[in-house]
A and B are shown apart, each in its own frame.
Chain A
Amino acid sequence: MGQVTPLALLKKGAEARIYLACWHGKKAVLKKRVPKIYRHRQLDETIRSYRTIHEALLIHEAKKAGVRAPQIYHVNLKDTTIVMEFIEGQQAKTMLASLKREQRKELCLKIGQAIGRLHAYGIVHGDLTTSNIILNGEEIVLVDFGLGSKSLQLEDRGVDLHLMKRALQSTHYQFAKECFENIISGYTEVMGKNDTEKVVEKIAEIERRGRYVAERKQRV
């Protein structure tokens, strides 16, 4: 089965190495979760295999939810590797700043819709950053589901969107507010007004739980 040839290191991420690879003659991505020497071996193995399994499962589920995610070709639990489709296109992270306001709005609406479809189906992504969102043609493709889970709980949905908001604030602070509002608009189109309002309230609650949040003072 293991007909995969790593060709070049595309990205040395925090958790995994992403290689451009050849899978039975097809252009593919090999994602390898490398052992972390700083972690206790037992804990390290648990984390790596758990995330590898979950990522593959959730990517598969995401498609049922109507969200584009890479095709999975092969999962190897022993090496904690996944071979998957190579997604052409650009990361939202590198695009956002160069887009005009209207185009940015368009993109954020689409991101919001994709998140909405995942949540409606019962998946939370767990690591929504602009690096994990790829624009392929007109379509949004979500990658990196390693921290995701299956959940319909309001708390998990809230955390998911809270992470998106935090990622925008730390990396795209110039237009974080505008982008997040548009993401929420897109989300509302899928989830409906009622459910969205509940999630937005939840996000505020999660923020209040954090350290040193001014809003906490207003709590009744």
Chain B
Amino acid sequence: MKEKAYCLGIESTADDFGVGVATFTGEILANVTDSYIPEQGGIHPREAARHHAEVAQKVLCRALDEAAISPAEVKVVAFSQGPGLGPCLRTGATVARTLAAYMKIPLVGVNHSVAHIEIGKLATKTKDPVTVYVSGGNTIVAAFDSGRYRVFGETLDIAVGNCIDVFAREAGLRREGGKPLGAILEEAAARGERLIALPYTVKGMDFSLSGLLTAAIAQLRKSECRVEDLCYSLQEHVFSMIAEVTERAIAHVEKHELLLTGGVASNMRLQTMLRAVAEEHGVKFKVVPKEYAMDNGAMIAWAGVLAYMSGIVTLIEESIVKPKWRVEEVDALWVR
């Protein structure tokens, strides 16, 4: 019997340190994450990186346990090479390089955004979707065309998760019961009743969220309306913009599937809106399962498999992290 081949994936672009194990045929055997939770405010890159360094060994061992494989069985090590926060990326890269050098196995640098798209495709069995990738650091509408994932619409400034988190903190919302801040805002929004007008800024296929965030915070400080109404209005405006550019992309590229992926994918209001867009245009709508929505090591392992099987290997001397690495700079040799 042929020996099974395993790829270990290391994710560390922002506040999550994750390790996943994937087989070369697309089975996910392990997916372990440890998140850095700041006491107050947003992610401090240096503090997050320190957290990653502290938990790396523990997370790595747990992932190998979960997959029930020995380190010697790992054939390839993949890591998030970008985009993301420099100090965090460097920590994950250091772990990956060390493993690859010590175990004398190939290293594969993976684009984090590509990994979100690929795990979404794997988990939902979509083949060639228009992908809406929404998270704390990214908000893009992408689709595959001639060798690469092309960005058809995106934020011109801040990402949707960032917009939601900053507003939630300004509004005094706190994480509770292990739920992320976005989920807390979603619950508050569900209690909202009145729509308060905020800037709706669609510019062609792109959109801007920073002005809306400023306006929403200004409303908050005036304290003339209920926080729940503002949360509700923020969601309605932001998600409508995303739905509009998604609809534009679908009308433009003529694909038959719509995939929602990334940390904000679990928002039910966004799902409802995009499902309506998909139905209107007769395309299938799929949402990435929760365990693969947030940043995770499994997606890096799987994207690593795809790249490695197409002959892509990253030499250690060329494995410098790329904090600004855009999705359309990657040759997706494994697609089709």
Residues of A whose CB lies within 8 Å of any CB of B are: 12-15, 36-40, 42-43, 46-47, 126-129, 131, 147, 159, 163, 166-167, 169-171, 173, 206, 209-214, 216-217
Contacts and interface: CB of A to CB of B under 8 A. Distances in A.
Interface stretch (B63-71, B87-95, B247-255): B247-255
A128 B247 contact: no
A38 B204 contact: no
Nearest to B246: A14
Contacts of A166: 204-206
A26 B200 CA distance: 37
Interface string B245-266: 0011011100000000000000
B206 A163 contact: yes
Interface residues of B, number: 45
B248 A211 contact: no
B237 interface: yes
B25 interface: no
Contacts of B195: 40, 42-43
B205 A38 contact: no
Given A38-B273, A206-B156, A214-B324, A12 B240 contact: no
A210 B252 contact: no
Nearest to B84: A212
Contacts of B47: none
A40 B281 CA distance: 19
B326 A38 contact: no
Interface of B: 82-83, 137-140, 145-146, 150-152, 154-157, 159, 195, 197, 200, 202-206, 236-237, 240, 243-244, 247-248, 250-252, 272-274, 276-277, 280-281, 323-326
Given A14-B247, A40-B240, A217 B324 contact: yes
A128 B205 CA distance: 10
Nearest to B146: A173
Given A43-B240, A163-B205, A214-B324, A38 B272 contact: yes
Contact of B252 (A39, A131, A163, A216): A131
A98 to B, nearest CB: 17
Contact of B150 (A15, A38, A170, A213): A170
Contact of B204 (A42, A129, A214): A129
Contact of A213 (B82, B138, B274, B324): B324
Contacts of A217: 324
Contacts of A171: 252
Contacts of A12: 251, 281
